[in-house]
Each structure stands twice: as C-alpha cells, then as structure tokens.
Copies of this chain bind each other. A is one copy, B any other.
Amino acid sequence: MEPVTLDLTADVVDVCAQLVDIESVSRNERAVADAVEQALTPLSHLAVQRRGNTLVARTDLGRGERVVIAGHLDTVPLNDNLPSRNDGTSLHGLGACDMKGGDAVILRLAATVAEPVRDVTYVLYEGEEIESEFNGLGHLAADAPELLTADFAILMEPSDGVVEAGCQGTMRVEVTTYGERAHSARAWKGVNAIHLATPVLERLAAYEPRQPLIDGLAYHEGLNAVGIEGGVAGNVLPDRCVVTVNHRFAPDRSEADAEAFLRDFFEGYDVQVTDSAPGALPGLDRPAAKAFVDAVGGTVNPKFGWTDVARFTALGVPAVNFGPGDPMLAHKQEEFVPLDQLRHCERVLADWLGGGR
C-alpha cells in the first residue's frame, strides 16, 4: 500500500477528513500510525516515540505542570461509510465522531502550539474499540507508565465539546439457577430452572437506581439483564438458567463495593463475576482539573459510560473527557462531527495550552 501523508498545516476540518480517509479499523492501524509518525517527527519541539501503532509525542520545556492529551486511532468496522463527506456543517464518515475529530484537534495542537505554558504529552493509540488486551493506552500504562506521568489528562472522546468528568464503573455477573431435568410430560418429577429465575427478574424489574451527587455531578447507576439463557430441548424441563447482569456503578463505589452490592441484591443465588472495570472519580478538586474546567467555560457533565479515563485515574492522574462530536453517534453508521465543534475544541485547547491568549 502506498504510504499516505498528513498535512497538519491544513484546517482542523481538513485534517479530520484526511484522518477519516485512512481506514483504520482495529488491528489495522499501521497506515494511520505511519502517517501520524511522519507528520509529527519533523516537529522540532516534540520528542516522538512509537510503540506498535501507538505514538507518544512530548514537549520538554521544563514547565511546572504536564498534561496528557490522548485519543485512539482505531475505529469500529466499516459500514459502507467511507470516504468522508463534508456537507458544510458537519464531516461525515467512519470514525468522524469516534474519534478522529478528537485526533485531528490533537494533531493540530501538536503542530501549532510550539511553546505551550504547560508541558504536553500527546498520545495517539491503537486498539481501543476491541478487547482490552489490545488497548495501546493499557500497554503504555503497563510497560512505560513514566510516559503517562502528568498532573492532568484530557481524553478527547466525543463529549459534544463539553467536559465530562469521571466515569462509571462496570461489572458483569452471571446469576444462575439450578433445577432438575424431567420430561415436560411429567413436569412434577423435575424442577424448572427457568421458573426458578422468576425472582431474579422480579428483583431486576423492581431495581431503583442510585443517583449520587459527586463533586456536584449527578451520576445515574444501572442494573440490567443483558442476557438470559436456558433450555435443553423442547420437551425437557431445563436444569439451568443463566441471567447475565450488567451493573453500572457511580465512581464513589469501588469494584469491591459493587460486588458486595450485587451479592446482597441477588442473595440466595449463585453469583459469578465475569467482567469488571472500576469507575473514576471526577477529581475536580485537583488544581489542574479546576483550571481546565475554568478555562473551557465551567460546564461539566458526568460521564455515564466507561472510558479510558479510568486508566489515568488508576495511575493517579486526574482526567476528563473533552472532545468534539455527539457521544450518542459513536459506532453508528451515520456518525459525523460538527465543524464548529472541531474548531471550538481546537481553539479552547490552544488558548489553554498557549496560556489564555
């Protein structure tokens, strides 16, 4: 394949269109990483490192504060939505919203803010849209955490150009009931495991979500059956029924708290944790976070979904989501990013990095 070049002197909208047009479905990020590397390497104010298809570009100006600004380079699979299309108001195409809009802002900042008042570590990474084991930010956190050391981090996932702080944790459990098989013509000889699951669904249907206020942000928990499975044959009482439940918990609770809550909630049933990720507290009391929120206008929303923000929190770095694009459009065929949000995010961040010019 012919190498593609990126022109970072172009407008942020054009940079975004260039990025969208380099197909980079997860596990196929080489071309986009090559292009990013070639575009960043000539910039003399940045030290660029590459690990796999993840790029880290750092200023080293000896400032009193360092911030990370990060975005993933991969997208969900193609869905007949390339190449990009600019309708004058929005840029459409695979990844425009999630999150090549954010990436374009990052690359424009890297190219144009040569003397930031805060040292900056730009991170453009691979493998966010698939299993956690492929996540380039996770690899950095595990293998070279010193590259992520900072006072504050901004993850440029789509957030409609508004700061979203913290994120909720997520835990999946399997709640299993056990019966006894019998021919359905003689049901009284057995015990129906699906019928035994009735109280499990009753408890779920009656669940009232906690909506705690944390650092002034109203979170909203959730508890949902995301799967149910039972059945042996059309004439057999099943001896096993599994309800898969996903709990989303506000960041004032740890994974241990969440597990204890679930074990109590489903008391009397077999509960197995199959998957878990901690939430992240907003951390808005930290000076770097406060300064950023003030700089971008003061509006902060809670983040309900889980994002890589939690990886920074786990490293002790307060982090927020802040990026162009409507998060509800992520992973949709018709995703797009509004041009004015691209320009707004670039301007706000350039001002903040430049010292409030």
Compute how far the CA of A246 lies from the CA of B229 in the bound complex, rounded to whole angstroms. 16
Q: Which of A17-25, A43-51, A188-196 contacts B (4 or more CB under 8 A)?
A: A188-196
A298-329 CB contact bits vs B (8 Å, 1 = yes)? Answer: 00000011100000000000000000000000
A188 CB contacts on chain B under 8 angstroms: 209, 220, 222
Number of interface residues of A (CB under 8 A): 45
| A201-B201, A234-B246, A244-B234 as given contacts; A228 in contact with B183, CB under 8 Å | no
Would you give the shortest CB distance from A277 to chain B, in whole angstroms? 11
Say whether B197 contacts A305, CB under 8 Å: no
Say whether A306 contacts B185, CB under 8 Å: yes
Query: For window 140-179 of chain A, which residues contact chain B by CB distance below 8 Å?
Result: 168, 170, 172
Query: For window 280-311 of chain A, which residues contact chain B by CB distance below 8 Å?
Result: 304-306
Say whether A226 contacts B238, CB under 8 Å: yes
Compute how far the CA of A233 lies from the CA of B227 in the bound complex, rounded to whole angstroms. 8
Does A236 lie at the interface of the complex (its beta carbon under 8 Å from any beta carbon of B)? yes
| A195-B225, A228-B231 as given contacts; A248 in contact with B168, CB under 8 Å | no
A237 CB contacts on chain B under 8 angstroms: 224, 226
Say whether B201 contacts A205, CB under 8 Å: no
Say whether A195 contacts B172, CB under 8 Å: no
Would you give the shortest CB distance from A168 to chain B, in whole angstroms? 6
| A226-B236, A227-B231 as given contacts; A248 in contact with B194, CB under 8 Å | no
Would you give the shortest CB distance from A175 to chain B, in whole angstroms? 12
A222 CB contacts on chain B under 8 angstroms: 184-188
**Dominant SS among interface residues on chain A:** mixed
Does A235 lie at the interface of the complex (its beta carbon under 8 Å from any beta carbon of B)? yes
A194 CB contacts on chain B under 8 angstroms: 201, 204, 224-228, 243
A225 CB contacts on chain B under 8 angstroms: 192, 194-195, 230-231, 238
Does A275 lie at the interface of the complex (its beta carbon under 8 Å from any beta carbon of B)? yes
Would you give the shortest CB distance from A249 to chain B, in whole angstroms? 11
Does A198 lie at the interface of the complex (its beta carbon under 8 Å from any beta carbon of B)? yes
Compute how far the CA of A236 lies from the CA of B275 in the bound complex, rounded to whole angstroms. 15
Compute how far the CA of A230 lies from the CA of B244 in the bound complex, rounded to whole angstroms. 10
Closest 5 CB pairs of A and B: A227-B231, A185-B305, A194-B225, A187-B222, A198-B201
B-binding residues in A (CB < 8 A):
168, 170, 172, 183-188, 192, 194-195, 197-198, 201-202, 204-205, 209, 220, 222, 224-238, 241, 243-244, 246, 248, 275, 304-306
16 of the cross-chain contacts (CB-CB < 8 Å) are: A170-B235, A184-B224, A185-B305, A187-B209, A187-B222, A188-B209, A192-B225, A194-B225, A194-B243, A195-B201, A198-B201, A201-B201, A225-B238, A227-B230, A228-B228, A228-B230
A185-B304, A194-B201, A195-B224 are known contacts; what are 18 more A-B pairs with Cβ within 8 Å? A170-B235, A184-B224, A184-B246, A185-B248, A186-B304, A188-B209, A194-B204, A194-B224, A194-B228, A195-B201, A201-B201, A225-B230, A226-B235, A226-B237, A227-B234, A228-B228, A228-B231, A234-B246
